[in-house]
Amino acid sequence: MDSSTLIATASIITAGLTTGIGCMCPALGEGRSVATALTSLAQQPDASATITRTLFVGLAMIESTAIYCFVVSMILIFANPFWNHIIAPAAGK
């Protein structure tokens, strides 16, 4: 196995793991956040505005983690920075 095949294989596997784990964990966190917020709203309906506002800010922060993982996986697949180490010596020959 040459180095370009090794880099391609490692990049694809890493991108898949990044997308898989990076989307599952925030989804679980969002579900838990919503469940806790609904429980809080049921116990204290007077604080609904504060709880809802805080929930949406928290959900946006959790969702940004999934978006960052997706961006990293797309970089590994389409704009892989490790290819420069393979292309540079080949261009010099």
- pLDDT tens figures, 37-75: 999 999 999 999 999 999 999 999 999 999 999 999 998
How far, in Å, are 23, 36, 39, 75 from residue 70 at the CA level? 8, 27, 31, 9
User: What is the domain range of residue 53?
Assistant: 3-87
> Does residue 93 lie within any of the structural domains?
no
Residue with tokens 């959900």: 59
| Residues 75/76/82/87 CA torsion (nearest 10 deg) | -80
Q: Burial letters for 19-33: b for 16+ Cβ neighbours within 10 Å, e otherwise?
A: beebbeebeebbeeb
Among the listed ranges 13-17, 44-48, 89-93, which one has the minimum average pLDDT value? 89-93
> Does residue 92 lie within any of the structural domains?
no
Question: How many structural domains is the chain composed of?
Answer: 1
